[in-house]
Structure 1
Amino acid sequence: MTQISAPLDPQILNPARRSPKKKKFGISDRVLAIGTPVLLLLIWEAFVHIGAIDARFFPAPSSIFMRMGELIASGELWMHMWASIQRLFYGFWLGLVPAIILGVLMGLSRPIRSALSPLVSGTYPIPKSALLPLILLIFGLGEMSKIVMVAIGVFYPVVLNTMSGVVQVAPIYYDVSKNYGASKWKVFKTVAIPGAMPSIMTGIELGAGLGLILIAIAEMMGAEEGLGFMIWNAWQLFSVETMYVGIFIIAVMGYVMALFLAEVAKWVMPWKR
């Protein structure tokens, strides 16, 4: 007796036919990502015009963007942005490199983890902004104090996530590498780092966001340029629109950093695509 099989779904035979559906979802995601902030700004604008909120404390977005245009035209905004970006860049690498090295060593070595884990876990809950007076006392009011603040903010999330990621790598991978005579550097490069990379990237994203917060706080004290200084100076002069411009630019920088790190994650973790 011949068996008659059910006809196969054309979508299974030709997966490319499903691509328009995926593309549709991608477009809707972009529309939501752009449309939601725009809708909130329009509602804010409408509430200001009907008098539902106090324009002295919540100026209309149109006036905020007009003020932004003035700051861009005068070059003042670019000056403050560039100062903050430079400090953020140097502080990011100053905190990132030792955090990854120390996190991997703590994950691979039980004695190192037992010795250093209490110190890291014990000092992590200390509010980083509370350390600013001490950092200013040690490093002065110059650039180094701002860079160190960013480095501290980046260090803790990265070292803790890196250690956790290395510890969670299945022991069989370490056993196989040892059986094949891999050196410690090979184990470090080909087993520990790739296995912990998802946790490392999570720590980097958290650290970059915290670094951006701390650079704004650090620039409010003892700085003459930077987005934090611009916000603080605007508060002293009660230039509310300028305050909102600084806050908006910091939010945009945070979003751009998140997009950039997402692309970096795709590059360093091709198996996750």
Structure 2
Amino acid sequence: MTTALMDRPAVQTLQVKPRRVWSKNQLLVVSIITPIVLFIGWELLSRLGVLDERFFPAPTRIFRALGDQASNGDLWTQSKHSIGRLIAGFLIGAVPGVVLGIVMGLSKIINAAIRPISSALYAVPKSAVLPLFLLFFGLGEDTAWYFVAVGAFFPVLINTYTGVANVSTVYYDVAENFGARKLRVFRTVALPGATPNIITGLELGAGMALIMLAIVEMLGGLGNGWGFMVWNSYQLFIIDQMYAYLLIFAIVGLVFAIFVGWIGRRLTPWAKK
């Protein structure tokens, strides 16, 4: 029996290949190279005739059109209007979204009253309610502000509520046992616990606010802004200029996401772990 045991093959140890860890610099290089490769491929396909330049102008033409808009001052004039609407609308929508989301997470009765309504309104296509805004507020800057605010409000509200609801009840119980008042619970438990979700909601809200800005500037009769220039360029079939202003939307969205993410990392250093 001993000989039989000795004749058995030894149990082989499973070798687990260590997972590769990418450094921040490597990830940054990938993030920079990817759009460059995309633009180079687009340029080559346009120059070779694979893409119809009437509808897909080469990136060099788009950047040239963007430079022309900057040199003649139109880009800065349109940016002044759009950035003002974006910031005003985002603040009008995001601040109430954070406050109401935290209140819903802390109060079951308020959550029961508001959550069905917010879920129903969130499902309504945002472009479909533009006629209502024009009917209520008319043509003007106020309409643009409130319309953009609606886009920012719901993502911030939902993510904030989710963040507060996901905070362990143990923390709330401890706060109550020590006699903490509602305002102190809000400041020391709910708000810090929900901050990572709030940051995510702000990023999503900023993206939706840009979409709403484009819609209201294209169809709201404002007569200026990035969205107006996209629509006007399309109607005049100045396609390279249309792509130039679409590129502005993409750049602003990227900058906004980077800025909000940077703030989030400063406010939630524990989230990295």
Task: Quote how far apart the aligned CAs of 1:270 are.
Answer: 2.3
Counterpart among 141, 144, 154 of residue 143 in structure 1: 141
Amino acid at match of 1:123: L
Amino acid at match of 1:27: N
State the Cα RMSD in Å. Answer: 1.4
Amino acid at match of 2:167: V
Whether 2:265 is the aligned partner of 1:266: answer yes
- Residue of structure 2 equivalent to 1:233: 232
Percent identity, aligned pairs only, is 46
Whether 2:119 is the aligned partner of 1:111: answer no
Q: Which runs of 4+ in 1 moved over 3 A?
A: none
Structure 1 segment 98-247 matched on structure 2, within 5 A? 98-221=96-219, 222-247=221-246
- Residue of structure 2 equivalent to 1:29: 27
Amino acid at match of 1:66: R
Structure 2 stretches lacking a partner, 5+ long = 1-19
For residue 23 of structure 2, give the secondary structure of its aligned residue in structure 1.
helix
Distance 2:197 2:225 in 1: 31
Structure 1 stretches lacking a partner, 5+ long = 1-20
Q: So what's the TM-score if we normalise by structure 1? A: 0.89
Distance 1:232 1:122 in 2: 30
Task: Quote how far apart the aligned CAs of 1:77 are.
Answer: 0.7
For residue 123 of structure 2, give the secondary structure of its aligned residue in structure 1.
coil
- Residue of structure 2 equivalent to 1:72: 70
Structure 1 segment 242-261 matched on structure 2, within 5 A? 242-261=241-260
For residue 58 of structure 1, give the secondary structure of its aligned residue in structure 2.
coil
Q: Provide Cα deviations, 1:173-193, integer angstroms capped at 9, x if missing partner.
A: 111111111111100000011
Task: Quote how far apart the aligned CAs of 1:37 are.
Answer: 0.9
Distance 1:81 1:35 in 2: 28
Amino acid at match of 1:242: Q
Distance 2:141 2:185 in 1: 38
Contact 2:196 2:271 in 1 (8 A): no
- Residue of structure 2 equivalent to 1:15: none
Task: Quote how far apart the aligned CAs of 1:123 are.
Answer: 1.0
Task: Quote how far apart the aligned CAs of 1:28 are.
Answer: 2.2
For residue 124 of structure 1, give the secondary structure of its aligned residue in structure 2.
helix
Q: Provide Cα deviations, 1:80-113, integer angstroms capped at 9, x if missing partner.
A: 1221111010011101111111111111111111
